[in-house]
Structure 1
């Protein structure tokens, strides 16, 4: 583009009359839309590479097995909105990740009122870690919490491992901040 054109665009100002104009937006369905959005997650695959978004959505639909109870909407530039029918479905997806496609992790966050496509920020990725080789007397929930806190913030310790017949490891779900290296 012509440099002069860009400079002219940057100098454009609103008139006093234009500044005083107010756009009235009707909110007749706002309550229903807010309710629908409250059952949604915003997601993004952690990659700068091109990937097949249609295949990623199809794979997620297959894995999550929610049929028509899940709508996946392309928002903009690899940002998706996952709309659920039930709160329990949303929580199941949040609690059973991390999810990925083609080795690209999917980061998710809950929709918040006022959120826009340009204001969405992803801060962390919850992942399961495994702790192997501990002495038998240290395969406990407390040890899992201590080790998990040393790694990062603990979300949960899998206590099923302690009651199974194969209690030889501890699984801890931790929240990894995206801006810090592991």
Structure 2
């Protein structure tokens, strides 16, 4: 099955691009950037991701930009995709791997890798203060609370 996507290249030209929907495996792709100031070995990064993520089925990792350490992750199983996205944040050799969903029609330059969700734990709370309201209050002190662990 094919579909056309028209993009305006300039004010005078239009280009029609054709994609194979099956090849794109929509809904099962992530884009990621390793946030580091160091030179990193690409095969080492790829090997650590595959080992750490332990996907049930095939995971294809495509290097998009070696200098910026940008990757596209294509999952053959939706369950693997969902687990990896939900399990953020991910670390490779102590460096943040910022990942985002990749959806049809996205442009790589528009993906924001500046923000990444983190799991945060708070210890030493009195038991009577251990509830969802207070967890949200505490979570909001360090960023935007996206999910509370026991919900």
Q: Would you say the 8 A contact 1:61–1:67 is kept in 2?
A: no
Ranges in structure 2 where 5+ consecutive residues have no aligned partner: 1-10
Name segments (4+ residues, structure 1) moved above 6 Å. Answer: 19-22
- Whether 2:148 is the aligned partner of 1:157: answer yes
Call closer, same or farther: CA 1:32–1:136 in 2, change over 3 Å.
same
Aligned match for 1:114, one of 105, 117, 120: 105
1:38 partner SS: coil
* C-alpha deviation, 1:88, in angstroms: 1.8
2:109 partner SS: coil
- Whether 2:29 is the aligned partner of 1:40: answer yes
**What CA RMSD, in Å, does the superposition of the two structures yield over aligned residues?**
2.4
Larger-gyration structure (1/2): 1
Residues 1-182 of structure 1 correspond to what in structure 2 (within 5 A)? 25=17, 27=18, 29-34=19-24, 36-66=25-55, 68-77=57-66, 78-159=69-150
TM-score of the superposition, structure 2-length normalised? 0.79
Ranges in structure 1 where 5+ consecutive residues have no aligned partner: 1-18, 161-182
TM-score of the superposition, structure 1-length normalised? 0.67
Q: Would you say the 8 A contact 1:41–1:110 is kept in 2?
A: yes
Which has a greater percent of helix? 1
* C-alpha deviation, 1:96, in angstroms: 1.2
